[in-house]
């Protein structure tokens, strides 16, 4: 059954109809047994209904609004800076630019190893989005497998840190990557390499499951997501069955002529015996 914390996180998308069918069923099962979540869901729906029935806000002219806002804003104070020689101004500009470049480089270098609970994680996601968009088709599967392994590394770390919601987030992101790569994994250029990659992913899924179970009160949602991901890998590895087309018969073979039946001959009647003639 869905945990209480996860159900509360899903109530708004549930009320807005944004959850998948299996997720809706899990929320339904929890709400049926949890009066608190059922009451909160009613409040969410009442709020949605209230927002829909509210009249639209009247348009507001920007110029009068800005004049009124300026009247209450604190006045800017002008700070006079003593003039510096040109070479000092140039040196100061170069120093500031160097600091900015070093800060950006430090963030970029730290972001690839950032976990979902790290402030640099959005930078990591942005970098991955740019890379996957710029990766050529022949190298896309390799990078997708790297992303899949990274999502499982994050999920394992979050499960070990007792952060199940972040572990669930990484597992869902893993499913998205695997779904995108499913077609290429089913028909890879190197079948052995693809099979080895799937084996590695299975091992990391088991590691996430062990990390989640080691807490004693392992999160059931994490466990279910691991099982779903394992099932997705099973579907990818299953060979596609090729349907044998039915034989189409055209022409006279479609309606064969009936075989000629032999003409029945009359059965000869027995001749009367000599005794019958004597009588």
Q: Which of 149, 170, 158 is nearest to 212 (CA)?
A: 158
Cα gap 25→22, rounded to integer Å: 5
125-147 pLDDT per residue, tens: 888 888 888 888 888 888 899 99
pLDDT (tens digit, 9 = 90+) per residue, 175-194?
999 999 998 888 888 888 88
User: pLDDT tens, 112-126?
Assistant: 778 888 888 888 888
Calculate mean pLDDT across residues 44-69.
67
Sign, Cα dihedral of 144, 150, 153, 159: negative
Residue 31: which residues within 8 A CB-CB, separation 6 or more? 7, 37, 38, 41
This prediction's pTM: 0.50
The pLDDT of residue 11? 86
Confidence (pLDDT) at 46: 81
């Amino acid at each position: 059954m869905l945990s209480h914390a996860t159900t509360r996180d899903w109530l708004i998308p549930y009320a807005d109809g944004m959850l998948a069918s299996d997720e809706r069923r899990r929320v339904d099962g929890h709400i049926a047994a949890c009066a608190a979540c059922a009451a909160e869901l009613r409040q969410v729906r009442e709020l949605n209904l209230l927002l829909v029935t509210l009249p639209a806000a009247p348009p507001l002219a920007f110029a009068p609004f800005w004049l009124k806002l300026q009247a209450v804003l604190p006045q800017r104070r002008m700070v006079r800076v003593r003039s510096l020689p040109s070479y000092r101004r140039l040196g100061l500009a170069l120093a500031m630019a160097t600091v900015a470049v070093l800060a950006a480089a430090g963030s970029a270098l730290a972001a690839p190893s950032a976990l979902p609970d790290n402030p640099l994680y959005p930078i990591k996601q942005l970098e991955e989005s740019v890379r996957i968009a710029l990766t050529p088709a022949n190298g896309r599967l390799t990078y997708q497998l790297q992303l899949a392994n990274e999502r499982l590394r994050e999920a394992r770390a979050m499960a070990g840190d007792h952060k199940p919601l972040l572990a669930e987030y990484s597992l869902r992101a893993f499913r998205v990557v695997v779904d995108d790569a499913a077609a290429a994994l089913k028909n890879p250029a190197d079948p052995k390499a693809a099979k080895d990659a799937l084996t590695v992913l299975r091992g990391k899924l088991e590691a996430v499951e062990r990390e989640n179970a080691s807490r004693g009160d392992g999160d059931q949602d994490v466990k279910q997501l691991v099982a779903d991901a394992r099932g997705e890998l099973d579907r990818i590895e299953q060979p596609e069955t090729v349907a044998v087309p039915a034989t189409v018969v055209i022409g006279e073979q479609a309606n064969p002529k009936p075989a000629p039946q032999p003409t029945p001959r009359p059965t000869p009647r027995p001749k009367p015996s000599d005794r019958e003639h004597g009588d």
